[in-house]
Amino acid sequence: MLIHLSELFSCQGKEKTYTQSLEMEHFHGPLGDYEIAEKEPAVLQITHLKERKLKVRGEVRLTLMIPCGRCLEPVGVPFHLTIEEELDMNQSHEDRVEALDEQPYISGYDLDVDQLVSGELMANLPMKVLCKEDCKGICPQCGRNLNLGECGCEKDPADPRMAAIQDIFKQFKEV
């Protein structure tokens, strides 16, 4: 959803609050696409500070379905994003790239809310998501979800050179 920003330039200190629905159904993350299970409209307060400089403040609540890091089952991860950005509309796209302040959510005088939220999600993604703390993962041989039950595959180390290391681990468990 686009917000046209030029209407805020009429006077310094002008402020307007926008409530925008998110159009995106999926978030394109670094490790794949995640479905957006729940989302609330983004509430953004945009203030004209001075000389075509804007301050954007707001918040967004949504839930992403991210695969568990061990068993790959989808897990609903809630996000409460707080947005706080300053925009200098005097800078050209090239100036922003040169200053390493790329803002893909700005195009001319339009602010793309979906792109803004995507950037905030990218910065707030968790390192690892687990369906539960004691998730058993999947069997490396047959791929069965071990949370649903044992699979019956042989549990010996695939590489006989690892057997010595396994013995060391067993000694520490017995202590």
pLDDT of amino acid 136: 93
What's the count of helices (H) and strands (E) in the chain, helices before strands?
3, 9
Residue 29 and residue 51 in contact, taking contact as beta carbons nearer than 8 Å: no
pTM attached to this predicted model: 0.76
Q: How many C-alpha atoms does 55 have within 13 Å on its Cβ side?
A: 10
Q: How many C-alpha atoms does 43 have within 13 Å on its Cβ side?
A: 5
Per-residue pLDDT of the chain (175 residues; tens, 9 = 90+): 788 887 777 777 788 899 989 999 999 988 889 999 999 999 999 998 888 788 999 999 999 999 999 999 999 999 999 999 888 777 666 766 666 566 678 877 888 999 999 999 999 999 999 999 999 999 988 889 999 998 888 776 567 777 778 778 778 765 5
**3-class SS of residue 75:** strand
Q: Which of 72, 69, 21 is nearest to 44 (CA)?
A: 21
Residue 48 and residue 54 in contact, taking contact as beta carbons nearer than 8 Å: yes
**3-class SS of residue 53:** strand
pLDDT of amino acid 159: 72
Residue 8 and residue 48 in contact, taking contact as beta carbons nearer than 8 Å: yes
CA pair distance 71, 80, nearest whole angstrom: 26
Residue 84 amino acid letter: E
Burial class (CB in 10 A: 0-12, 13-18, 19+), 144: middle
pLDDT of amino acid 164: 79
Q: How many C-alpha atoms does 134 have within 13 Å on its Cβ side?
A: 2
**3-class SS of residue 163:** helix
